[in-house]
Structure formats: C-alpha cells, structure tokens
C-alpha cells in the first residue's frame, strides 16, 4: 500500500453503491460494515481481487454493535489498520468514514410497512448513535452521514414534534469534538443520476483539516461542504436503450447484448474492469424478465397506448405505478428507484425493469455482481416490528434500491478528496 492513498471506512454499506462511487473518486476501502449476509457478499465479491484483505474479520463486521460493544475487536481492528494498511488511527490517518443507517423507519415506503410501530421502537432508527461513537473513536478527517429526505420531518411517535428525530441526529453529530458540521438536502439528478432521489447528506470535517483546506470549502451546497451540482443526468433511452431486446419473452431472459453500445453512458456501463468494451454478442447478466400475468400485461400495454393512464377497471392499490419516459421533460428525472421495481413500467416494452436495468439506474456498471435472490416480498422483505420481527431479506432489487447512487457518491468523493489532499499538502 502506498502512503498517500486515500482510505474510507463504510458503515451500513449495503451492496456498495456509496463505496463504489468513492472508489471511482480515488478512495480505497479500509473497512466495511453491513448486517445483511447477501448485501455484504455483494460488496465483497466485487472487491475480492483488488482488496482481498476485506475478507479478514479485522476489516469487516456485520453488526456495528459488535465493534461498538467489543473493545477487544475494535482495538484489533485499529491495530490491523496500521499494520496492514499503514493507517494510524491514533494519529488521525483515516481519511473518510461514511455511513447510511437503515432508513425504512423514515422513508415513505418504510412508513408504509411500519405496522403502526412508533419510530422510537425501531432499533434501526437509533444506529446513528453507534455511527457517531465510531467516528469519535476512529477520528476520520471527514465523515459523511446520509439518509432519506423523510428523516428531516420524522417524529419519534404520533405525539411528537415534526423534525424532532433530525434534531436529535444533528445534535449528536454536532456534539462530536473537533469537527465542523454542515448538511444539505441534495437531489441525485443534479449529479448525473437519472433519478430525482433526494438524500440528506451531513458532513463533518475535522478542525485541523478544515483550517488547512478552508480555501477550497466554498460553494452553495452546505456552505461548500458538498460539491456543486453538475446537472448532467441522461435520458432513460440513452441509459438503457442498448439493453432493449425486441424478441424478449415474458418471464424469460436475455443473456447476450443484442445491440452495440450507442451512447457515451452505455459505453461506460459496458466497459469492464480491464478497460474492454463489451460488444454485441458478449455475455449479459441479470437481464431476466418478470413473468407478468395476462391481466398485468394488458394493463401495461394499455398504459403504453394511453400516455401512461390506467383504465379504471385495471387500477390496483399500487401507489405509484407509471410508465417511465424515454426522455425527461425540462424538469429532468422525476423517479426514485426503491426496493419495488414494479412501481415502474419500461418506457418501450410492457414489463417492469430487470435487475441489470435497475442497477444502471443506480450507476452500477454491468460487470457489478449481486448476491442473493432476485426478489422476494411481504414479511420476508419488510419484517413485522409489531411482532418483534426486525429481520429483513435483501434480494437484489432491494439491495440496489437501497444503495446510494454511484455518480452522486463519486461527485461527493471527488470533493472530499480535494479537501483532504489540500490538507495533506499543508
């Protein structure tokens, strides 16, 4: 390992969207935490060649509380970070620590499945405290907390005050010693992502780093703690057009690219780790189509033929099902990829999106692999807090939907890298 490499510790990492974007910005993963076995396997299999040490228990854990409550484990991790990666935590060498605690208790979808349980009763809604503790111990130069827009207005219980949870989160991080803290609500579409996807990003910059790089910390987003927007999101037909198989079958799959890459963004997604552009006829993964019932196909076809409208006789309880536009209007992207791919109908075919198309929406290149089942539903995906069941399966669609969009993470990472490198030069 070279001395001047930038390293990041990623907590609640999921399948690795935030980490991957940061890696594109020049960071290297030093530690990963993720509770779900399939999600962390997705994270690890995509890094096992370049970062094999992550398989070592000194560099990953499932439950953050193992690290928080087990002093011996934490001490060993700090020791191995220095021995193997030359990161002297006690000397303030860790560059970046990021985390997005599970947000099902704050998001609109999570609220839909909360079974009327107060948010203060959901253990996952208090994990920000554990993240703050880890920050206080590892003392990174910069830390990033990210979560859903709903966190800003959430209440601990029906009798609470709107926004009280966010006030608790904000005060917890502001009370950390030696950090300047700022935050903003950002939209992924402003950073090259073909989604609206609003996210709350809270940034802490260590005082010594802030003083040395203050000249770079300027801007309209969180007073320069976050990067300025790029406003370069592409249309969906430019993003997904090369994956459209005119001969696809309902419930079938397409295992080879049927078209060459026609746009710059398609070429990006089809470029392998070693720089090879995948041509027509190359192997394509995760392009399996859901098997829709005849009445569903009829509804989708009707929607295509009637400007997205659903006939009264075909309406269901789906809260947001609509046809995706091939091109955005002047407002830009208006969708948010969630754990529910059946909320959206493909822009040119009567079907929902495949795992690979869902992954492209989030910025994952076509070589990125995902562990676990393709999809699941009901209690297995949401748990039942009323019965004390907090376990949740994370099939591929859910892993991808939960991820931080890669291009947003890359923009944030590039901004952080400039700040840290400036401080290192000083």
Residues that are catalytic = 103
CA distances from 38 to 14, 139, 302, 393, 395 (A): 9, 29, 37, 8, 8
Cβ count within 10 A of residue 423: 21
Provide the b/e sequence for 103-137 (b: ≥16 CB within 10 Å). bbbbbebbeebbeebbbeebebbbbbebbbbbbee
Mapped onto helix, strand or coil, the DSSP state of residue 186 is strand
**C-alpha to C-alpha distance for 18 and 404, rounded to whole angstroms:** 5
Strands (E), 209-337: 322-323
**C-alpha to C-alpha distance for 374 and 17, rounded to whole angstroms:** 18
Beta bridge partners of 389: 384
**C-alpha to C-alpha distance for 147 and 150, rounded to whole angstroms:** 8
Cβ count within 10 A of residue 75: 11
Sign of CA dihedral 338, 340, 109, 41: negative
Strand order in the sheet with 179-187: 60-61, 27-33, 6-11, 96-99, 142-148, 198-206, 179-187
Mapped onto helix, strand or coil, the DSSP state of residue 413 is helix
Give 44: exposed, middle or buried? Use CB within 10 Å, 0-12, 13-18, 19+. buried
Q: Do 345 and 300 touch, CB atoms closer than 8 A?
A: yes
Q: Rounded to a whole number, what is the distance in angstroms from the first to the last CA of the chain?
A: 22
**Residue the block writes with tokens 């398609």:** 266
**C-alpha to C-alpha distance for 261 and 268, rounded to whole angstroms:** 9
Mapped onto helix, strand or coil, the DSSP state of residue 252 is coil
């Amino acid at each position: 390992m070279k001395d001047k490499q930038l390293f990041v510790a990623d907590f609640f990492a999921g399948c690795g969207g935030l980490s991957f974007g940061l890696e594109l910005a020049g960071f290297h993963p030093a530690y990963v935490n993720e509770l779900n076995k399939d999600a962390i396997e997705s994270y690890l299999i995509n890094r096992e060649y370049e970062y094999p040490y992550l398989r070592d228990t000194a560099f990953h854990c499932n439950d953050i509380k193992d690290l928080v409550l087990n002093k011996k484990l934490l001490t060993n991790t700090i020791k191995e970070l220095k021995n193997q990666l030359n990161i002297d935590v006690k000397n303030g060498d860790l560059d970046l620590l990021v985390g997005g605690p599970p947000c099902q208790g704050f998001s609109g979808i999570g609220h839909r499945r909360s079974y009327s349980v107060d948010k203060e009763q959901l253990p996952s809604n208090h994990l920000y405290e554990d993240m703050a503790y880890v920050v206080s111990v590892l003392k990174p130069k910069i830390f990033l907390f990210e979560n859903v827009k709903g966190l800003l207005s959430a209440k601990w219980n029906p009798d609470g005050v709107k926004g009280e949870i966010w006030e608790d989160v904000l005060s917890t991080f502001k009370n950390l010693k030696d950090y300047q803290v700022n935050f903003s609500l950002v939209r992924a579409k402003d950073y090259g992502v073909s989604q609206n996807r609003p996210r709350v990003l809270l940034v802490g910059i260590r005082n010594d780093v802030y003083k040395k790089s203050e000249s770079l910390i300027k801007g309209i987003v969180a007073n320069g703690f976050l990067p300025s927007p790029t406003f370069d999101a592409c249309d969906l037909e430019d993003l997904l057009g090369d994956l459209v198989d005119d001969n696809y079958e309902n419930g079938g799959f397409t295992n080879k690219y049927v078209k060459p890459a026609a746009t710059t963004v398609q070429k990006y997604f089809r470029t392998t780790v070693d720089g090879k552009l995948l041509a027509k006829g190359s192997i394509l993964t995760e392009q399996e189509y859901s098997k829709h019932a005849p009445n569903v196909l009829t509804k989708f076809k009707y929607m295509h033929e009637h400007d997205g409208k659903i006939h009264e006789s075909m309406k269901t309880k789906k809260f947001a099902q609509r046809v995706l536009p091939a091109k955005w209007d002047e407002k830009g992207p208006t969708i948010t990829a969630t754990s529910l791919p059946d909320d959206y109908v493909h822009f040119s075919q009567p079907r929902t999106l495949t795992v690979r198309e869902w992954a492209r929406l989030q910025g994952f290149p076509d070589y990125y692999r995902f562990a676990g089942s393709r999809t699941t539903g009901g209690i297995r995906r949401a748990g039942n807090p009323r019965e004390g069941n907090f376990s949740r399966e994370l099939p591929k669609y859910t892993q991808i939907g939960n991820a931080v969009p890669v291009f947003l993470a890359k923009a944030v990472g590039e901004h952080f890298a400039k700040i840290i490198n400036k401080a290192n030069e000083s």
